[in-house]
Amino acid sequence: MPAVPELWYSNYLGNPLGAWTLALATFLITFTVLPLAQRYITARRARLSTLGSSRAYHAIDLAAFLVERTHRLFLWGVAVWLGSRHLALPPRLESWLTIALVLLFWMQAAMWAMAAVHYGLSARQQHAGGPDAVLASSLEVVLFVAAIVIWSIAFLLALDNLGVQIRPLLAGIGIGGIALALAVQTVLSDLLASLSIALDRPFVVGDSLAVDDFQGSVEFIGVKSTRLRSVSGEQIIFANGDIVKARVRNFGRMRERRALFRIGVDYGTPVPALVAIPRAIREIIEGTPDTRFERCHLLTWDTALQFEVVYFMTRPDYAAYADTQQRINLRILERLRAMDVNLAAAMPTSVQLQHPPAAPEGPGGQQLLL
């Protein structure tokens, strides 16, 4: 049938019908096969856990994760590019298609890089055996800095692929960056300080901090500021640059709490009872859960005989310490009363000195010496 070959080779918009048919078939096949392959790899990714935690597992799992994060628009662009290989397009249309495909490719490359960063952070959490509080508090800062770096590099590489001379652009960006840095040096200082907090990790969300005269628990670590909830209820906001320069006491990293208190007993307490007091206090503290006895000594006397007691709480929580200290105080008071030992008065008692009576006077008002 001669009509079919003639129709096949007929020219439509500068290309024969056969070329258009091949281009359309390539586009449809590609845009059908690639999403199906993506769904298959995504479904099979859950079964990769049988490989354990080897390097091969992480490499294959990362590749599957990147395939899963491939945007549908990028697959459409690949299908269009493969289909356009069968067509002879006008130079202007070819140029616009090239620009669109290059930008689409580097956009997808940046998305893959960000997905790899997310994968690395998730792998670290799994390696730590659960949610990493340190990483969770600095996650926003790490992702913010990574996004700036990755998207900037992708944009510059896209311009370079399109034939744009990026060296003058980089020089201009450098000069403009210096001027911008001088104008917003406080903001940049806080940004770099937030990066320092994210990398050095002096504290995390939930830690109890004492910064200068302020004390509270960390609620949020941001790009510019760190927010604390004070013990009295209000929110305290510190610039990251200020909190990095300050001397910070982190009670959240406290492994155990040292407790020191003094007991003053009356001066009239017999020496054998004084000798028995440290032994009794030691028995009380060692019999209290979550404590480790350190020492008990009669160290000083001023208004009373002062015993200094030191022990450690293996649970650093302050509420647990307060309950334990109350229990110890009550048991010590009970033991001292059983030993007939009196605690010293809160205020020192005054001592009245007795003066000798005056000598009797003799005649004429003269005192008589006895």
Tens-place pLDDT, residues 149-187: 888 888 888 888 887 777 776 666 666 666 665 655 677
pLDDT one-digit tens code per residue, 345-363: 754 433 333 444 444 455 4
Region of residue 14 (phi > 0: left; psi between -120 and 50: alpha; otherwise: beta): left
Domains in the chain with CATH codes = 6-176 (no CATH), 188-253 (2.30.30.60), 257-338 (3.30.70.100)
Record the pTM: 0.51
Asked whether the beta carbons of 195 and 141 are under 8 A apart, the reply is: yes
Q: How far apart are CA 305 and CA 299, in angstroms?
A: 8
Instruction: Say if strands 291-301 and 248-250 run parallel, antiparallel, or are unpaired.
Output: unpaired
Number of Cβ within a 10 Å radius of residue 36: 9
DSSP class of 226: E
Number of Cβ within a 10 Å radius of residue 339: 16
DSSP class of 261: E
pLDDT one-digit tens code per residue, 290-306: 999 999 999 988 888 99
Q: How far from chain centre, in Å, is Cα 332?
A: 42
Q: Which of 12-21, 122-131, 306-315, 359-368 tops mean pLDDT?
A: 306-315
Look up residue 137 and give its two tokens. Answer: 């508090």
Q: Which amino acid is at 116?
A: A
Q: How far from chain centre, in Å, is Cα 352?
A: 64
Q: How far from chain centre, in Å, is Cα 313?
A: 26
Asked whether the beta carbons of 296 and 307 are under 8 A apart, the reply is: yes
Cα four-point dihedral sign 24, 28, 29, 30: positive
Nearest to 20 by CA among 35, 7, 34, 39: 7
pLDDT one-digit tens code per residue, 3-33: 445 545 555 556 777 777 888 888 888 888 8
